[in-house]
A = this chain, B = another copy of it.
Amino acid sequence: MDGYDKYAHEPFAVTVDLAVFTLRDDALHVLLVERGQEPYAGRWALPGGFVQPDESAETAARRELAEETGLSDVSGLHLEQLRTYSEPGRDPRMRVVSVAFAALLPDAPEAHGGSDAAEARWVPYGTAGPLAFDHDRILADAHDRVGAKFEYTCLATAFCPPEFTLGELQRVYETVWGTELDRPNFRRKVLATPGFVEAVPGAARLTGGRGKPAALYRAGTATALHPPLLRPTREGRPA
């Protein structure tokens, strides 16, 4: 941290890149923007932008989140720093260090772009071709992190509306993990974890479809899960 004179010769640009997830039609979607300029013109990329002089990376990420989703209030949304990508060649034009974030939205507002000129669109996860820069890697890392955090935190409720059924919550897990879960066991586990969900006192609402109407729940106050809710054992889980 001494020898500041070294720096003056080679400054860095610092950006944030956002992997914004939501659930639409029981499918995981990611918010992507189409690049208009070289390099990677015409390719999809993660939304992001430069960190301004008076901002922390977290502040910049939340600002970008508001701009790209078009939402007026993003203060309650889950936003989490992933890691920083700093390979020298990751942007062919110049030296850019990018702090990556993951964000989770309950519902997918079709509106996008806000006042920003960039076209932001919800794209089903995995369907967009190779992304610009190292964004494929960032997106994969973000997905891994979210899936892992589902095991030992209450993060899954961040994908749900304020009131939801246990079936909806289960489908969140199944969609993100890409597996199927046993319904009775999932109920037992969720209800046995204090603070994970709390029942909405009076009413049970029908979800609109057929079948017995389901009870409604709200997200509880807990954030961690003890013991964890492990995904179905893939034996010999690799490094």
* B-binding residues in A (CB < 8 A): 1-4, 6-7, 9-15, 35-37, 45, 48-58, 81, 83-84, 86-88, 91, 93-95, 97, 99, 118, 132-133, 222-224, 226-228, 230, 233, 237-239
Contacts and interface: CB of A to CB of B under 8 A. Distances in A.
Given A81-B83, A94-B4, A12 B224 contact: no
Contacts of A13: 4, 7, 11-12
A2 to B, nearest CB: 6
Contact of A50 (B7, B97, B238): B7
Which of A7, A15, A48, A53: most chain B CB closer than 10 A? A7
29 contacts: A1-B45, A1-B48, A1-B49, A1-B91, A1-B132, A2-B37, A3-B50, A6-B50, A7-B13, A11-B13, A12-B12, A12-B13, A12-B14, A12-B51, A14-B14, A51-B97, A54-B88, A57-B86, A57-B97, A81-B84, A83-B83, A84-B84, A97-B97, A97-B99, A223-B239, A224-B237, A224-B238, A224-B239, A227-B230
Given A3-B50, A7-B50, A57-B84, 16 more contacts: A1-B49, A1-B91, A3-B49, A4-B13, A11-B12, A11-B13, A12-B14, A12-B51, A55-B88, A57-B86, A84-B84, A84-B99, A97-B99, A224-B237, A226-B237, A228-B228
A1 B98 CA distance: 10
Contacts of A86: 14, 51, 56-58, 99
